[in-house]
Amino acid sequence: MPTIDQVIETTKSAAEMRHILDSKVLSRPEIRLLLNETRWDGNVLHAKGKMGHGTVSVEERKVVIHIELSLFGAAAKGAIESTLSEQIKKLGS
């Protein structure tokens, strides 16, 4: 199964990035398509949707993404990777 594994450096703390993910990333329509079911367990966001499932971990000045893509998600892997990376980099700087 194809995966997305990204480590994105930020200038924010884990708490700041968690707040940003909740308020500005997870609410975006293109992200909701990928991750329509989410729950936090500490600083790890567990998410799943029709394009795949995985985790987004927030650490001090870093976001670690691991998503296993479904067959449907695999077809859009490049677009998903770039959208996630762009949004988190933009908001985390």
Per-residue pLDDT, 60: 94
Give the C-alpha separation, 23 to 28, whole Å: 9
Residue 55 or residue 30, greater confidence: 55
**pLDDT for 31-73, tens place per residue?**
776 678 999 999 999 999 888 899 999 999 999 999 999 888 8
Per-residue pLDDT, 35: 74
Residue 80 has, within 13 A of its CA and on its CB side, a CA count of 27
Give the C-alpha separation, 52 to 69, whole Å: 4
Model confidence, pTM? 0.83
Percent with pLDDT over 90 in the chain: 46
Amino acid in position 73 = G
Per-residue pLDDT, 34: 67
Q: Confirm or reject CATH 3.40.1130 for domain 3-92, answering yes or no.
A: no
